[in-house]
């Protein structure tokens, strides 16, 4: 076996659910800008800023 094959065999696969749980537990910030221009003149500018995270109720 090569070193890469040994490393991938030793590392457990992460499922999509586990990945989403980690990301939403810590929070994710999405940020982006889109500008549509014609002949060097900006016609439409859209700016996106979003915070996505999970909300859990406190257990008594």
Give 47's pLDDT tier (boundaries 50, 70, 90).
very high
pLDDT digits (tens, 9 = 90+) for 17-45: 888 777 777 778 889 999 999 998 989 99
- Give the model's confidence band at 3: pLDDT under 50 very low, under 70 low, under 90 confident, else very high: low
What pLDDT is attached to residue 60? Answer: 63
What is the DSSP track for 1-60? Answer: --HHHHHHHHSPPPPHHHHHHHHHHH-EEEEEEEEEEETTEEEEEEEEEEEE----PPP-
Instruction: Report whether 32 contacts 60 (CB < 8 A).
Output: no
């Amino acid at each position: 076996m090569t070193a890469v094959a040994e490393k991938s065999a030793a590392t457990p696969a992460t499922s999509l659910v586990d990945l989403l749980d980690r990301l939403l537990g810590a929070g994710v910030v999405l940020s982006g800008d889109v500008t549509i221009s014609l002949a060097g003149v900006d016609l439409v500018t859209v700016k996106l800023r979003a915070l996505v995270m999970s909300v859990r109720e406190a257990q008594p």
